[in-house]
Amino acid sequence: MLASMLWMMAAPVEIEMLQTAGLLLLVLSIVWTLSGARATRVFVFPVLYIGFAIPAWFPLTPLLQELTADVVFWAIRVMEIPALHIENMIVLPSGKLSIEEACAI
């Protein structure tokens, strides 16, 4: 019920992140109602994973860009490749890698 209220309150004012979160919680609550807790535990990851395909996470783009750049820089350092991390750019001896918005989402 809380998920449907969240979705219904976010829909008229067009807050996409809340609509998406409410819809995903609503789908999980429907699965729980129809199939029980055991089936819901199986479907939690796939339903939440589908949520990342919905383009409603734009306010999180800067955070996701920074996180992606940090992970890529860490992976490069694990491979013992010399690199320099400057904001959303990773400078290598052979060139530059830039983490753009499309890569972060």
pLDDT in tens, 30-41: 888 998 888 888
The Cα–Cα gap between 73 and 89 comes to 9
* Domain spans of the chain, in order of start: 2-56, 60-104
pLDDT at 73: 93
Element (H, E) at 61: helix 61-78
Do residues 6 and 18 touch, judged by C-beta distance below 8 A? yes
Element (H, E) at 30: helix 16-35
Do residues 47 and 28 touch, judged by C-beta distance below 8 A? yes
pTM over 0.85: no
Concatenate the DSSP letters of all residues of 67-86 into one string.
HHHHHHHHHHHHTT---EEE
